[in-house]
Amino acid sequence: SPPNPRRRISIFGATGSIGRNTLDIMNHLGGREAFEVPAITGMGNIELLAAQARQTGAGFAVTADPDRYDDLKSALAGSGVEAGAGPSALIEAGARDTDLLIAGIVGIAGLAPTLAAAANGADIALANKECLVSAGDLFTAAIARGGGKLLPVDSEHNAIFQVLEEHQRHAVERIILTASGGPFRDFTREQMAAVTPEIAAAHPNWSMGIKISIDSASMFNKALEMIEARHLFGMRPEQIEVIVHPQSIIHSMVGYSDGSVLAQLGAPDMRHAIGYAIAHPRRASLPVERLDFAKLARLDFIAPDEVRFPALALARTAMQRGGLQGAVLNGAKEAALEAFIAGRTGFLDIAEIVASVMDRLDDGRHALSIDDVYAADQDARRAATELMRKSA
Ligand code: NAD
Ligand code: MG
């Protein structure tokens, strides 16, 4: 009999934390014998992107930076891998036929290329939470139109996906997102006011990209995840709870109408959620640490402090207001976060800027198209930048 055709997996953001973990798992599950890589993307790290493209025998490698085309082209010389650069090449990469797309670009920049893949019918393994936070229903509708599956890779949503069966959806009372609490869980506001980007990026349990690590420290990551959960699982805002669980062993929970709570547990290792999405609907054997409960001994739970972490209340406000407030929250947050990383604003200012921008741009408008989402994102960034200039 002919050999099984190789499964096609495209990887967006291959050079990042999600991307590198994805390649690790693909190697573990058979490498080039098992997988074909129609498209792979990165941005500034051309050397790594080219090495990944050669190693996987990718069809098309794209850097998001339009000025790096020549660098990528020469790094790929003789490999047979086609090179591309810039936003339109990213969209072209999304439109290349594939069975599964790993959406691992960070930020709103991931939206257009991921939508291109969704429109082409690919299954989407979604790490890029900003797609759902900013474009919400438009994004899920685009996937439904394309006919592919949406498989959450964010560990909390992956956990919920694992314990929420379709035939029991009617009985879901609440979703309980766990949060590690980040490096500042026990800091006072005074201590938080003085932190640097380096300290904020050092996450106690998970090893991730710099932006999501700092978002974890401010709990904006959890805020984005609340909105993400709303769209992924069709929840009302009041059905979404957050509990601080410092060990990050329970990845999230679903509470049912009969009082049962189902949880998914595992070591804090993104390769689990990525491997789960790749193997779905089966389960693969994955090289992740097994839990030793006797060694763990205890799991702790603490109510989140919304005074020190205003991001959670902002997420609830954004969900209640609806419309484009998710895109506004995310756009303002990205601008403030970039300013914090550059040393131009303080850690506690991030939430204050987001709150002001959300109020200022609360005009009840709804997104009729993706262009409206991009416009709201740009408006929010501009408003945030203006606020920061005024207070400087
Ligand atoms: P990262 O910074 O490590 O990697 C980001 C990737 O996106 C890199 O390949 C980078 O080259 C690319 N990129 C950056 N800016 C880009 C742009 N403007 N256009 C196109 N490509 C660009 O980030 P990460 O930690 O891997 O996170 C990726 C996404 O997954 C984020 O949305 C994050 O919230 C989500 N996520 C990550 C983790 C994790 O463990 N790292 C967990 C859950 C969810
Ligand atoms: Mg998460």
85 within ligand 1 shell (Cβ under 6 A): no
152, 179, 203 - which closes a domain: 152
φ and ψ at residue 157, rounded to 5 degrees: -75, -30
- Beta-carbon count within 10 A of 22 CB: 29
| Ligand 1 nearest atom to the CA of residue 128, by list position | 32
127 within ligand 1 shell (Cβ under 6 A): yes
Q: Which ligand is nearest to the CA of 103?
A: 1
* In a shared domain, residues 34 and 98: yes
pTM to 2 decimals? 0.97
Can you tell me the distance from the alpha carbon of 226 to that of 231, in angstroms, rounded to the nearest whole number?
Answer: 9
Q: Is residue 287 part of a domain?
A: no
For residue 182, what pLDDT is reported? 94
43 within ligand 1 shell (Cβ under 6 A): yes
pLDDT tens, position by position, 7-25: 999 999 999 999 999 999 9
Q: Once rounded to an integer, what is the mean pLDDT over residues 256-272?
A: 98
For residue 357, what pLDDT is reported? 98
Number of domains in the chain: 2
Bridge partner list, 126:
103, 152
**Is a pLDDT exceeding 90 seen at residue 347?**
yes
**Is a pLDDT exceeding 90 seen at residue 36?**
yes
| Ligand 1 nearest atom to the CA of residue 212, by list position | 34
Q: Is residue 276 part of a domain?
A: no
316's tokens: 């609830």
* In a shared domain, residues 195 and 126: no
* In a shared domain, residues 91 and 183: no
CA-nearest residue for atom 15, ligand 1, is: 106
Q: What CATH number is given to the structural domain containing 252?
A: 1.10.1740.10
pLDDT tens, position by position, 226-250: 999 999 999 999 999 999 999 999 9
pLDDT tens, position by position, 147-174: 999 999 999 999 999 999 888 999 999 9
In this prediction, the answer to ipTM > 0.90 reads yes
pLDDT level of residue 365 (50, 70, 90 thresholds): confident
Which one of 67, 151, 212, 252 would you pick to mutate in the ligand 1 pocket, going by the greatest count of ligand atoms within 8 A of its CB? 212
Cα 10 to middle of ligand 1, angstroms: 15
pLDDT level of residue 205 (50, 70, 90 thresholds): confident
| Ligand 1 nearest atom to the CA of residue 210, by list position | 2
Tell me which residue range forms the domain holding 324. 165-266+295-391
pLDDT tens, position by position, 316-334: 999 999 999 999 999 999 9
Q: Once rounded to an integer, what is the mean pLDDT over residues 131-147?
A: 96
117, 152, 187 - which closes a domain: 152
- Cβ pair 208, 271 in contact under 8 A: no
* In a shared domain, residues 134 and 202: no
Q: Is residue 48 part of a domain?
A: yes
* In a shared domain, residues 77 and 12: yes
* In a shared domain, residues 132 and 236: no
pLDDT level of residue 268 (50, 70, 90 thresholds): very high
Spell out the long-range contacts of 148-151 with Cβ–Cβ below 8 A and sequence spacing 24 or more: 148/118, 148/121, 148/122, 148/123, 148/124, 149/123, 149/124, 149/280, 150/123, 150/124, 150/126, 150/232, 151/123, 151/124, 151/125, 151/126, 151/276, 151/277, 151/280
126 within ligand 1 shell (Cβ under 6 A): no
Cα 183 to middle of ligand 1, angstroms: 20
* In a shared domain, residues 141 and 227: no
* In a shared domain, residues 145 and 207: no
Cα 211 to middle of ligand 1, angstroms: 8
Q: What CATH number is given to the structural domain containing 36?
A: 3.40.50.720
**Is a pLDDT exceeding 70 seen at residue 194?**
yes
pLDDT level of residue 2 (50, 70, 90 thresholds): low
Q: Which ligand is nearest to the CA of 134?
A: 1
Q: For the chain, what is the mean pLDDT?
A: 96
* In a shared domain, residues 129 and 67: yes
* In a shared domain, residues 15 and 40: yes
377 within ligand 1 shell (Cβ under 6 A): no
For residue 1, what pLDDT is reported? 60
89, 124, 152 - which closes a domain: 152
* In a shared domain, residues 247 and 362: yes
